[in-house]
Every structure is written in structure tokens, then in C-alpha cells.
Amino acid sequence: MAEAEANAAAAGAAAKDEAAPVAGALPGGGEGGGAGEDAGTEKRMPFLAHLAELRTCIRNSAIAIFGGTAVAYLFRKYIFALMARPLIYAWQEAQQEVGLGRPEMVFTSPVEAFMVLFKLAMLVGVFLASPFVFREVWRFIAPGLYDRERKWGLGFVVASVLLFAGGAAFAYTYVLPASYKYFLGYSAESLGIIKDVMGQNVNVHLSLPFDIKPMITMDEYFSLTSMLLLVFGAVFELPLLLAILAVLGIVSAAQLWKFNRYAVVLFAVAGAVLTPGDLVVGQLAMTASLTILYNLSILVAFIVGKNRKAREAAEEQAMMRPDNS
């Protein structure tokens, strides 16, 4: 009797030893792991190991952002000069029309110039560090994805970066120069005297002559320019968003096409809300951009939907083959 109980205890201990490594193994490690198996038989990473990986991801990302900010701060004046380029060119064009002086910017507090350049360095530092941050995030989430999800996820990350950079470049090249030229057009010389009425020379004194001159602060220019760059960069993510919805089967190309006429009205409203003040050029540019991107999204949704239907048909045929054999 005692010998039988000892044999049973030894067998239970051996079974426990065999099961213990499975509970703490990494995803995909050892035999039987991998994405193709059922959820109940997968080998999972312990919770504390997940926290350690997350801590490493956050630490490396913070180091990359700090390094990028430090590098950008060394060239802060040159970067700000590059950022001010649309305003300077618009100023030169308006200078011939309304008689503006030399382009200039001012700061109205002792720390304004430092804070603007520091915020600009941080913004550029995040942009420089974004590839390293994306790599760390990808290293953290990739072990929990299937092979097909990894392929789609990496493609979406690359497309997101390219679309955002394209939107910001579009705003920098076309929207900002036209916008600042429009704003500077409110400048005037000798505003208290009317010298021309419908092509006729007159000399009517409404008041003593005075000039309206722009006095643009560094902080106001940085805030407006960075906001427009971020807004247009985010707007250009529309095709990617609709492509994700099409992949998930939430929307289809036919549904997007039927909603096209209403989408144009919504884009016009969005352009009026997202662009500052009476910036007609920015409103028209954003409305046109959204309309073009929306129609491109319909084409992307059509291609994605066609591929999804073909894949589902292939899967159905593969499931029916054992029954027919």
C-alpha cells in the first residue's frame, strides 16, 4: 500500500514538472508554440515579463526622443529659418504690392524666443526619433501577432508615416505661402486717404494718414504653422483609415461611393473648422485635398474588398475539399 502511494506521488510530481515550463515560455518558443495553434495550447509570456518589455520599450523611446531633441537644438536657428521660409517668401511678394519693409519677427517676452526654439527642437526631435520609436513599439507588439497581421501591421506603419509626411509637405509647399500672402494683404499704407475710386484719381482725407504694418511674434507664427502642418498631416491619413475599415469589412467601396456627395459637404465644413480665421485658401485646399483623398480611398477599398472576397472564397474551397474527397 505504501509503495503504491509513493509511485502515485512520483507520477504527479513528474507531470507537474512537465507542465511547468509551458506556463512561462515565450510565444512561439519550444514545440507546439506558434500562431497556428489554438489559444488554449499557446505558450504565453508571464505578466511581469510583459511589464519588463514595456519598460524597455518606453526607456529606449525616451532616449531616442531625448537624443533627437538634443541634435535638433544644436541647429535650432537654422531649423526655424527653414520653418519661416513660407512667411518670408510671402512677405517679399506682398512687399511689392503694399509696400512692406524688411521681413522680421519679434518676441514680446524675455523667454519667448527660447521657448519657441526649444519647442521646435522637441517637435523635430520626435520626428527624428520616430523610426526608433516605431521599431520599439513593433518589437513589443510583434510577438503577439500572427504572420499575416505582422505583414499588414508593418505596411500600415510605413504608409502612415509616408502619408503624414506627404500632408505636411503639401501644406509647407502650397498652403502656407498662399495663406501668409493672404494675411499680409491686410497691410496698407496711408489708410486715412482715399486716392483712387473706380479708376479715378481723388484726394479724400478721412483722417490723418496712418499705416497698417504686420508685427508677427515668434510664438504666434510657430503655433499657427505647426498646427497647419499637423492638421494636413493628419488629414492625409484618411485613405489609410478607410483602408483599415475596408480590411475589417466595416465599409465597402460601394458604400463609400454612395456617400460621396455628402462627404464633399462634410469636407467643406471640416476645412472651415480646422483652418484658422478667414483663411479661404486653406479652406479650399483642405476641401480639395480631402475630396481627392476620399476618392482615392474608394479605389483602395475596392482593391482591398476584391482581395478579401478572393481570400474568403479560397478558404471556403479549402474547407470543402475534405468533404468531397
Contact 281, 182 (CB under 8 A): yes
Residue 30 domain-assigned (yes or no): no
Within the chain, where are the H helices? 2-24, 47-74, 76-83, 85-98, 112-141, 147-170, 176-184, 218-235, 238-247, 253-258, 260-274, 280-324
195/89 same-domain check: yes
112/211 same-domain check: yes
Residue 83 domain-assigned (yes or no): yes
72/213 same-domain check: yes
Cα–Cα distance, 49 to 57 (Å, whole number): 12
Residue 35 domain-assigned (yes or no): no
What Å distances lie between residue 204 and 68, 93, 121, 254, CA to CA?
A: 59, 28, 51, 62
C-alpha cell at 160: 502612415
Q: Which amino acid, one-letter code, is at 2?
A: A
What Å distances lie between residue 311 and 67, 287, 290, 305, CA to CA?
A: 45, 36, 31, 10
What was the pLDDT predicted at 144?
Answer: 73
What was the pLDDT predicted at 189?
Answer: 63
- With b for 16 or more beta-carbon neighbours within 10 A and e for fewer, the 103-136 pattern comes to bebeeeeeebbeebbeebbbbbbbbbbbebbbeb
What was the pLDDT predicted at 248?
Answer: 72
Residue 269 domain-assigned (yes or no): yes
**The model scores a pTM over 0.75:** no
Beta bridge partners of residue 201, listed in sequence order: 196
191/249 same-domain check: no
C-alpha cell at 48: 511581469
129/253 same-domain check: no
Q: Which amino acid, one-letter code, is at 153?
A: G
What was the pLDDT predicted at 23?
Answer: 38
What was the pLDDT predicted at 172?
Answer: 92
What Å distances lie between residue 71 and 65, 119, 201, 272, CA to CA?
A: 10, 13, 58, 37
- With b for 16 or more beta-carbon neighbours within 10 A and e for fewer, the 263-276 pattern comes to beeebbebbeebbe
127/71 same-domain check: yes
145/263 same-domain check: no
Residue 262 domain-assigned (yes or no): yes
What was the pLDDT predicted at 310?
Answer: 73
For 225-289, give the DSSP string.
HHHHHHHHHHHTTHHHHHHHHHHTTS--HHHHHHTHHHHHHHHHHHHHHHS-TT-HHHHHHHHHH
What was the pLDDT predicted at 114?
Answer: 95
207/242 same-domain check: no
Place of cell 512520483: 10
Residue 158 domain-assigned (yes or no): yes
C-alpha cell at 207: 483722417
Domain count, the chain: 2
182/261 same-domain check: no
Which of these three, 205, 229, 253, is where a domain ends?
Answer: 229
Tens of pLDDT along the chain (325 residues) come to 444 544 555 545 444 444 444 333 444 444 334 444 444 444 566 777 778 888 888 999 899 999 999 999 999 999 999 999 999 988 888 777 777 778 889 999 999 999 999 999 999 999 888 888 888 887 887 777 677 667 777 777 788 888 888 889 988 998 888 888 888 877 766 666 667 667 677 777 677 777 778 889 999 999 989 988 988 888 888 888 887 787 777 877 788 888 888 888 888 887 777 776 556 677 787 788 888 888 888 888 888 777 777 777 777 777 776 555 4
128/87 same-domain check: yes
Residue 96 domain-assigned (yes or no): yes
Cα–Cα distance, 266 to 274 (Å, whole number): 12
Q: Can you give the residue range of the structural domain that contains 185? A: 45-229
Establish how many alpha carbons lie within 13 A of residue 8's alpha carbon, considering only the half-sphere containing its beta carbon: 5
